[in-house]
Amino acid sequence: MRHFGSLTTHPGGKRGRGEDLMNGPMLVRDLVPRGVQPHSDAGAYFDVWSASFPTPTVLLHSDLRIIWRNSAAEDMLAGKAPFSASGGSLLFADRSLAAEFKRLLGGLTGPDAWIYPDDGDFWILRVDPLAPDGHEPAAAVMFYCHRPSTHYVWADFGRVFGLTRSEAEIVKGLVGGASAEELADGLEVSIETVRTHIKRTYAKMNVKNREQMFALLMQFRVT
């Protein structure tokens, strides 16, 4: 596994919160895989990328202390999402779910996903561990808001993962909030057939559960 250091940009402003680019413990050079020399203008490129990247992204310690957040995360935390920031930490509207998420971060050994229900909708949090040398472990968290009642346009993820047309339709149904029973009724097949398709889909996508599948698919959501 490649280990990357903490992301950073200049403090303040909409481009992200972090230590000073050259003086703090989080350096742009830590972003570069070992053995590769960082580009001299890496900070400038990263500033532009972090300001324009549309997915809210936060780097967190396991106790929910915020290391860095991008512009989209700034907007999310200041808006109506069930997440906010105070005292340099990420806050959840539901404290019991915050405790559950802390446990996930504390035991993180690889990429994972977690779902936060939100009044009929839900948020998918994709979590990737970060373990830079000389720093305590942390995680990169991407936030995806998903509204099952909304009709989304998807890129051709079926071709990417080698899914059959039926498997791709079942995946879209699952992401849209349908149960296996509802999918079986809609496709006029047995529940056993749907479950078989789901198992095959998990294997092809190399995921273990629905949460991981959702997190993987969000990158294929166009609108």
User: What pLDDT digit, counting tens, does each position of 51-84 carry?
Assistant: 888 889 999 999 999 999 999 999 999 988 899 9
Q: Report residue 147's pLDDT band, with 50, 70 and 90 as the boundaries.
A: confident
Percent of the chain with pLDDT over 70: 79
Q: Which architecture characterizes domain 28-146 according to CATH?
A: 2-Layer Sandwich (3.30)
Q: What is the mean pLDDT of residues 10-24?
A: 33
The b/e string for 55-92 (b: 16+ C-beta within 10 A; e otherwise) is: ebbbbbbbebebbbbbbbbbebbeeebbbebeeeebeb
Q: Where are the domains of the chain?
A: 28-146, 157-220
Which of 2.40.50.100, 3.40.50.80, 3.40.190.10, 1.10.10.10 would CATH assign to domain 157-220? 1.10.10.10
Looking at per-residue pLDDT, the higher value among 122 and 10 belongs to: 122
CA distance 16 to 24: 14
pTM above 0.75, yes or no: no
CA distance 140 to 134: 17
| In the predicted structure, residue 18 carries a pLDDT above the cut 80 | no
CA distance 24 to 32: 17
| In the predicted structure, residue 10 carries a pLDDT above the cut 80 | no
- Amino acid making up residue 148: P
